[in-house]
Amino acid sequence: MGENVNPHAHFASICELHLPDHLMPETANLADLCRKHGRRLTGQRRIIADVVSAAHDHPDVIEIHRRAAAIDPGIALSTVYRTLRMFADIGLIETHTFEGGRARVEQATGEHHDHLIDITTGKVIEFRSDAIERLQTEIARRLGYRLTGHRLELYAEPIPGRASPVRRKAR
């Protein structure tokens, strides 16, 4: 899949953006999925799962611990680390380490996307460009390689007086 693209095709549009997943319908919840993978559903895991599901801001581990501790003050940071790693291992979440920061977490959606990081606020915006995806595969092929993964992060600042299209409220 995606292997036999025609590198000389004329792309109808340069990029196709999609909505961030907090605007998309929720799928199964993390806690249930955790159980389905044969793991015990402990109180801590339930809380961490809830925190991650409720978060739409790509929080880092410390922040997830902070939010979890607000519900159960006894929860240990190492439990958060262990639980998040376990969620990642069974594919329920993804972690991304942006430039010089801690790992940040998002619930897996199954749909691949890349990230734009607002350097003024740290806010993360998800996007997807099939054109870029194709170019990456093609570049690897030209260099004699088969693409197995990639990392694309855009660091940017807001254009003054120009609200982000995906955030703009109708009025």
Partner DNA sequence: TCGCTTCTGCAAATCATTTGCAATAAGGAT
Partner DNA sequence: ATCCTTATTGCAAATGATTTGCAGAAGCGA
Query: Which residues form the interface with DNA (CB under 7 A)?
Result: 35, 39-45, 60-62, 72, 74-79, 81-83, 85, 97, 102-103
Nearer to a second copy, 40 or 146 (CB): 146
Nearer to DNA, 35 or 56 (CB): 35
Choosing among DNA, a second copy, none, which partner's interface includes residue 10 (Cβ < 5 to 8 Å by kind)?
Answer: a second copy
82-111 residues near a second copy, rule: CB under 8 A: 99
Task: Specify the length of the chain in residues.
Answer: 171
Task: Please identify, using beta-carbon distances, which residue of 22 and 102 lies nearer to DNA.
Answer: 102
Task: Indicate whether 166 belongs to the interface with a second copy (CB under 8 A).
Answer: yes
- The C-alpha atoms of residue 106 and residue 96 are separated, in whole angstroms, by 8
Binding partner of 127, given DNA, a second copy, none, CB within 5-8 angstroms per partner class? a second copy
CA atoms within 13 A on the CB side of 33: 18
Residue 22's SS3 state is: helix
Interaction partner, residue 99 (DNA, a second copy, none; CB < 5-8 Å by kind):
a second copy
Query: Of a second copy, DNA, none, which one does residue 121 interact with (CB within 5 to 8 Å by kind)?
Result: none
- Provide the Cα torsion 77, 55, 110, 10; round to 10°: -130
DSSP string for 73-95: TT--HHHHHHHHHHHHHTTSEEE
Q: Count other C-beta atoms under 10 Å from residue 22's C-beta.
A: 13
Amino acid at 152: L
Structure tokens at 87: 């969620």
Nearer to a second copy, 28 or 159 (CB): 159
| φ, ψ for residue 61, nearest 5 deg | -65, -40
Q: Which is nearer to DNA, 45 or 115 (CB)?
A: 45
End-to-end Cα separation, the chain, in angstroms: 42
Enumerate binding residues for a second copy (CB under 8 A): 7-8, 10, 14-15, 17, 99, 116, 118-119, 125, 127, 129, 131-132, 134-136, 138-159, 162-167
